[in-house]
A and B are shown apart, each in its own frame.
Chain A
Amino acid sequence: MTAVSARSAVDLCDLKKSFPVADGGNLDVLDVEHLTLSAATCTVLRGRSGSGKTTLLNLIAGVALPSAGVIRVNDTDVAALSEARRDRFRARHVGYVFQSFNLLSAFSAIENVMLAMTFADVVPKRLQRQRAAELLDRLGLGARLAHKPQHLSRGEQQRVAIARAMANNPSIILADEPCASLDARTAGTVLNAFLAACRQDGRTLLLVSHDEAVLSDADQILDISEFNRAEAGKAAS
């Protein structure tokens, strides 16, 4: 492990998330008193299936709202923003790599990356194609720019998803099981891409993973059961 920098990129305070269930009650999924992710670090989050890892990522990304509590991302209270501002904030500050990549099948690799830039409107339009090509080239996909996702291997799809997450130069990258279902060699390539984003570009990484290779390279390893009181409550009951 490397030293953890002092400035926080993500701060969670008294965060709760519950979902309504069929019997009219609520199911508590997350109950976090306090959690901080320091800037420019690589944190690995692990925990059993259904323990709230993806929900936590969604809350940090602002694609879901907490039932209570505060989520500060780069000192911005994400939940307090209007929906439009939250969309804009997410587009500009957070890159999200989904577990199943979520590439849009109608768009080529380069267009999938350009989509993120289109919605964020940070990179000038005339430069978007060039930047997308550069990102994909850095990830070894220079010859696959015009390929549709269905014509790419899973490893290649994953790298396109990483390039898309980095398209708007976000300070935080969230990745949900980025190496799941990848072979060891491809997983290594993907992990190197993430670590380069952290070590070379100074981005904050939060990776949900159980992969030993990922765990060994992380600055911080968090088990969700250790800080999620809802998970602890479930275990106790």
Chain B
Amino acid sequence: MTILTIALKSLRGRLLASTLTAVSVALGVGLVIASVLMAQGIREAFIASATDYNLVVGAKGSPAQLVLGVVFRIDVATPNVRYTIYEALRDDPRVEVAVPVMVGDAYLGFRYVATNGTYFAALPWRRKSFSLAVGRFFRDDPLGSPQFEALLGSEAAARTGLRVGDRFYEGEEMADYPFTVIGILKQTRSADDRAIFMSLASFWEMNEVARGLAVKPLTAVLVRPKRMSDLPGLHREYNVAEETQAVLPSGVLLTIVNMMAVAQEALTMILATVGAIVLLYVFVAMYSATLERRREIATMRALGARRTTVLGIVLVESCTLVTLGGVGGILVGHVAAFVAAAMLATRSGLVTQPFMFDAVQPAILAVVILLGTLAGLLPAVLAYRMEVAENLAPLS
């Protein structure tokens, strides 16, 4: 037998207490890991969705609302602008790409997003790419002859159960305008996974208000200038205009990240408190176990175990407990992050990546093992200093 096997058998000998200690460590570590994963995931989800376009042009109002409503579909959409704004931007020589976006109602909670084929185009500067899991993209049907074709994001398809060829509509008043599913996108890990895409013509025809308007409405126009030097000019021009505001998504993103940083500071303090409680629990558990095992430790010493040997056994025990708890905590954290990511996606449309392994997690594990082992140091010293003869007799 070795110190490790002796320590493991001692832990097994008090299985319930050992399990509870390891579980408490796992829960504490899991909470930290889940929080880190979710914070990272939310930040990356924001960045991944927001950085393809340099400018979002929409109606006057809150810049954050415009970006959150159009790009992330979290907030309520801003009022509409006229389609002519899009045409002006499309034809502007300074603009490389302009994409019209109309955010509308929803089917079973999945937002209608009307746009044109450019939205899905593979462009060299795009971080996000769209590809079909099945079917095809919808056609940019001309105004007046809508085809009512719908392209579903991956999650929208999975959750609604719609398949290619299915027809659907939301509410009896829309029964005259059923959409036909013509394709389903592969997962993009963005708000687009939860969207139901359609052509602008189809949307306008379905929408009672838009149907009657001579100049059709849009929620916003996503803009990519040819040269970055043109961005300030475009930004200023569309902000000065009476009808529109132009928002730099990166600026809004920075605001969101800064807000998250404040929340994360508070969260860090809470997590640090949780960590301290868990370490205290490990300490109390190991200290109690050492006190309860005074006779066993004295017996080992009487059998010839050196002081350093019993010190090592207790340290290996606490190290083993926190290692098991720490590894379990990483698994618990990922499961919790997975559940939280699903809930976040359902409630806010923000799609995060719950399974990420990076340097932070081994670092957290290493810190937990180090601190947990240190928490076992005092009980180990207690075992080290224990007088043999005094503790050989039964405790009673």
Contacts and interface: CB of A to CB of B under 8 A. Distances in A.
Interface of A: 55, 58, 61, 63-64, 83-84, 87-88, 90-92, 96, 98-100, 102, 104-107, 111, 114-116, 118-120, 128, 164, 168
B302 A107 contact: no
Contacts, number: 77
Nearest to B295: A102
A149 B281 CA distance: 30
A120 B12 contact: no
Nearest to B388: A63
B238 to A, nearest CB: 75
Contacts of B1: 111, 114-115, 118, 128
Contacts of A118: 1-2, 6
B389 A64 contact: yes
6 contacts: A83-B306, A90-B304, A104-B13, A104-B296, A106-B10, A114-B1
A115 B300 contact: yes
A111 B1 CA distance: 8
A63 B309 contact: no
B40 interface: no
B334 interface: no
User: Chain A at the B interface: mostly helix, strand, loop or mixed?
Assistant: helix
Interface in B373-396: 388-389, 392-394
A111 B393 CA distance: 21
A90 B299 CA distance: 12
Contact of B14 (A83, A106, A128): A106
B189 interface: no
B9 A107 contact: yes
Contacts of B359: none
Contacts of B309: 119
B305 interface: yes
A140 to B, nearest CB: 22
Contacts of A100: 393-394
Given A102-B392, A119-B300, 20 more contacts: A58-B388, A58-B392, A63-B302, A63-B389, A63-B392, A87-B301, A87-B304, A88-B304, A92-B304, A100-B394, A102-B302, A104-B10, A106-B9, A106-B14, A115-B1, A118-B6, A119-B305, A120-B303, A120-B304, A128-B1
